[in-house]
Amino acid sequence: MAGEGPVVVVFHGTPGSRLDARFCSAAAAEAGVEARFVGFDRPGYGSAASQPGRSLTSVAEQAAAIVDDQVRLLAISGGGPFALATAALVADRVPSVTIVSGVGPPACGLGALTVVQGKTEAEVEAWAEEIISAEQPAPTGVDVFDLFLASQAEGTRSADGIVKDVLTLREPWTVDLGAVTAPVTLFHAVDDESCPIEGARCLAGALPRAELVEWRDGGHMAGASHLGEVLSRVLA
C-alpha cells in the first residue's frame, strides 16, 4: 500500500502487475492528489500463482478481500472488466470506479485481442510468449514512467497471466453491469486501436451511472498525458 488518504485499489492492465500502485502513487504525488494505492497481481502475473479456471468473479472476490472498508477502484486497460466485476460484487463498498483505456465487452470489438479470438489455449500461450520475449523499453530517467515500465516487466515474468486474461476477456462477460451502482468514469482516446472506443461507448450506455470522457488522440497510452485529470477524478 502506497501513499496517504482514501484507499484506491488498482487493477493493472494486460500485462501489468501489483507495482502499478507505485506508479499511481508517484503520479498522484506529482499531481498533488492524496490517496493510498493498493495493487495486487491477478493469478498468473508477477508473484501470484496460476489459478486454473480463474474468472471475472474469482478476481473480484480476490480484490474484495484486500480491504474491508470503502474503496475506490482504478483500472487500466485489461483491468477494466475486473474492476467492474468487483464493483458489482461489493457495490456497498465502492463509491466510484475510474477506468482508463479499458477493454470493452467482446461484442463491441476486441481490438488487440482480435488476433487470438478463435485460437486454442496453446496458441494463445505461444502468442503471449512472443509478447513477453520482446525487447523491453529502456528506462527513461523519469520516475513515473520508469515505475510503469518496472510494473510491466514484473507482469511479464511468465505468459500465464496474459493467457488467462485473454481466455476470460474474449468471452461474453459474466458481470451484471446493472449491479454496478457506483458512478463510473471512462477515460478513452478516440484513436485507441488496442481497446477500441466502441467498447467504452458500449459500457457508457450499459452502466447505470457512467460518464465517458473522450480524448481526441493519444492512442492506448493517452492516459500518460492526462494523469492529473484521471487521478483528480478518482477522488472526486
Q: What type of residue sits at position 15?
A: P
Among residues 1, 7, 21, 3, the alpha carbon closest in space to that of 148 is found at 21
The confidence score (pLDDT) of residue 68 equals 83
List the chain pLDDT tens, one digit each, 236 residues.
555 689 999 999 999 999 999 999 999 988 888 899 999 999 999 999 999 999 999 999 999 998 889 999 999 999 999 999 999 999 999 999 999 999 999 999 999 999 999 999 999 999 999 999 987 788 888 888 899 999 999 999 999 999 999 999 999 999 999 999 999 999 999 999 999 999 999 999 999 999 999 999 999 999 999 999 999 999 88
Read off the pTM. 0.96
**Distance from C-alpha of 222 to C-alpha of 190, rounded to nearest angstrom:** 10
- What Å distances lie between residue 75 and 115, 117, 154, 224, CA to CA? 23, 23, 17, 14
- Kindly report the number of other CB atoms within 10 A of residue 143's CB atom: 15
Domain 2-234 has CATH 3.40.50.300: no
What pLDDT does 40 receive?
97
Q: Going by C-beta distance under 8 Å and a sequence separation of 6 or more, which residues neighbour residue 141? A: none
Q: What is the pLDDT of residue 222?
A: 96
